[in-house]
């Protein structure tokens, strides 16, 4: 049973890896920084892991509690900060058509 779970999860690993390759190969050079920062935010999903392990309880183990608390903080910084900064960056790319046509109108 355990091995079955492992095999199923490994299948997900492989498929997700290929999906990632296919999807991300299409992103143009121009958007590489936002891409990187968006994927950065996505690996912030580790915050789930931290919350889950903490939520399952660490008993009286203060040290584990501290370790996991820091992990939650780190994960939250990663995920929240990552999405916000990506949004800011992409916002600048988006305004472009409007401003460029305005620039032409000025001429």
Applying CB under 8 A, the site for other proteins has a residue count of 90
Judged by CB under 8 A, does residue 105 bind other proteins?
no
Contact residue for other proteins among 4, 25, 60, 105 (CB under 8 A): 25
Question: How far is Cα 40 from Cα 74, in angstroms, rounded to an integer?
Answer: 13
Judged by CB under 8 A, does residue 4 bind other proteins?
no
Question: How far is Cα 48 from Cα 76, in angstroms, rounded to an integer?
Answer: 9
Judged by CB under 8 A, does residue 60 bind other proteins?
no
Judged by CB under 8 A, does residue 20 bind other proteins?
yes
Judged by CB under 8 A, does residue 29 bind other proteins?
yes
Q: What is the dihedral of CA 29, 35, 39, 40, to 10 degrees?
A: 100
Question: How far is Cα 10 from Cα 6, in angstroms, rounded to an integer?
Answer: 6
Judged by CB under 8 A, does residue 26 bind other proteins?
yes
Interhelix angle 32-42/82-94, nearest 10 degrees:
150
| Phi (first) and psi of residue 26, to 5 degrees | -85, -5
State the binding string over 64-103 for other proteins (x if CB under 8 A, else -). xx-xxxxxxxxxxxxxxxxxxxxxxxxxxxxxxx-xx--x
Judged by CB under 8 A, does residue 62 bind other proteins?
no
């Amino acid at each position: 049973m355990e091995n079955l779970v492992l095999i199923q999860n490994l299948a997900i690993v492989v498929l997700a890896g290929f999906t990632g390759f296919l999807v991300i190969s299409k992103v143009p050079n121009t958007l590489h920084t936002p891409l990187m920062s968006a994927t950065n935010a996505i690996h912030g999903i580790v915050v789930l892991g931290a919350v889950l392990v903490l939520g399952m309880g660490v008993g009286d183990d203060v040290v584990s509690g501290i370790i996991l608390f820091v992990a939650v903080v780190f994960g939250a910084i990663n995920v929240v900060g990552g999405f916000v900064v990506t949004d800011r960056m992409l916002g600048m790319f988006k305004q472009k058509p409007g401003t460029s046509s305005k620039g032409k109108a000025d001429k």
